[in-house]
A and B are shown apart, each in its own frame.
Chain A
Amino acid sequence: MIEEINKYLSEQMKKVNELYCLIITDRDGVPIIKILNEKCPETSMKQPIFLSTFSTASDQASKLGLGKNESILCIYKNYQILQVNYFPFIIRYIASHKVNTGHMYTLHDHIKPVIEELKLSIGQSIVQ
């Protein structure tokens, strides 16, 4: 099944220009599905700490009094990283800083049915 999901997500990723990477992880940043192309920055993969900080950051951001935090978008010099909380998963998109952020959110909405089914099938085994 993993090949079909990877293929589907790769095709969907191509709809957003300069989207380099899509990773679905658990709350500790352990990758469940990882799709990346050659432009994806290596440091994002070599530093698992990068993948694990979102849950803490989201947790703390929820205390700001603005409601439950659902996603965090960070824009850097060359890249932008969108991290979305989709319990028990965390979904990350790494793209060029030039990418229209709305396209990434649209892509996220588009792949939600697949993630929802993943949640039903393997969500119970995800370490929380």
Chain B
Amino acid sequence: MGCCFSWCREQSDPEEIGDSERRTLIHPDNPNTSIQTSPPTLANIEPLSPAQSKKNDEQSDLHRILQNTLTKVIDISSQGCNNLEHNEYIERMNIYKGKLNVAPLPHILRHEECLLVDMPTPATCFCDIGDYILINNASEKAELALKNVKVEHTNDLVVPFMIP
């Protein structure tokens, strides 16, 4: 192996934080976690013994410590253990293939070849009628000028060099 280089970016865009691969499914600060706490009612309030509440506190502390450790520690021991089963792999490939076949064609591939390829939507650029007439006149004049180009024969086409 030669060298390895990675390019990192500042996490300045708050919108992209949500898409991060580091996002955990259960996050203590995330209000949309799957663990929903129901409002306390008489039915669901159970008196906790001091021992139970102490145990719960310990559990939550341990969980918090574990989460903090996971986010800080660089762990490469999980590298290389691909848990994906072969049949699941094939199944997913087929699903993606099916989805791709029915998905609409990307817009960039839809437009036809034209001279204004550098413009994203050339059809929306309306031309002023004055410009249209001007360009037409100019091109007609250019065409006429090209047709009238003639070579006038004045001198000999073959000129002998003055070789002694």
Size of the B side of the interface (Cβ < 8 Å), in residues, is 44
B residues in contact (CB < 8 Å) with A: 1-11, 16, 19-22, 71-76, 78-80, 82, 84, 89, 92-93, 95-97, 99-109
CB interface residues, A 6-36, toward B, < 8 Å? 8, 26-33
- Whether the Cβ atoms of B82 and A48 lie closer than 8 Å is yes
Q: Is A73 a contact of B105 with CB atoms below 8 Å?
A: no
The 29 listed contacts between A and B (C-beta, < 8 Å) are A1-B102, A5-B100, A30-B92, A48-B82, A49-B82, A52-B82, A55-B21, A57-B76, A59-B21, A62-B22, A63-B72, A63-B74, A67-B10, A68-B16, A68-B20, A69-B8, A71-B6, A72-B5, A74-B5, A75-B5, A76-B1, A76-B2, A97-B2, A113-B107, A114-B108, A114-B109, A118-B100, A118-B106, A121-B104
Question: In the complex, what residue of chain A is closest to B84 when comparing beta carbons?
Answer: A28
CB distance from B83 to the nearest CB of A (A): 8
Chain B residues with CB below 8 A from A117, complex form? 106-108
Chain B residues near A29: list those with CB within 8 A. Answer: 82, 84
Across-interface contacts of B102 in A (CB, < 8 A): 1
> Which A residues form the contact surface with B (CB < 8 A)?
1-2, 4-5, 8, 26-33, 48-49, 52-53, 55-64, 66-77, 85, 87-88, 97, 113-114, 117-118, 121-122, 125-127
* Complex alpha-carbon distance, A49 and B73, angstroms: 23
Complex Cα–Cα for A121 and B75 (A): 34
A56/B78 in contact, CB under 8 A? yes
List of A residues within 8 angstroms of B103 by Cβ: 1, 118, 121-122
Partner of B99, one of A4, A60, A125: A125
CB of B48, distance to nearest CB on chain A (Å): 37
**A71: chain B residues within 8 A (beta carbon):** 6-7
Closest to A73 in B: B5
Rounded to whole Å, the gap between the CB of B47 and the closest CB of chain A is 41
A72, B104: Cβ atoms under 8 Å? no
CA A85 – CA B8 in complex, angstroms? 11
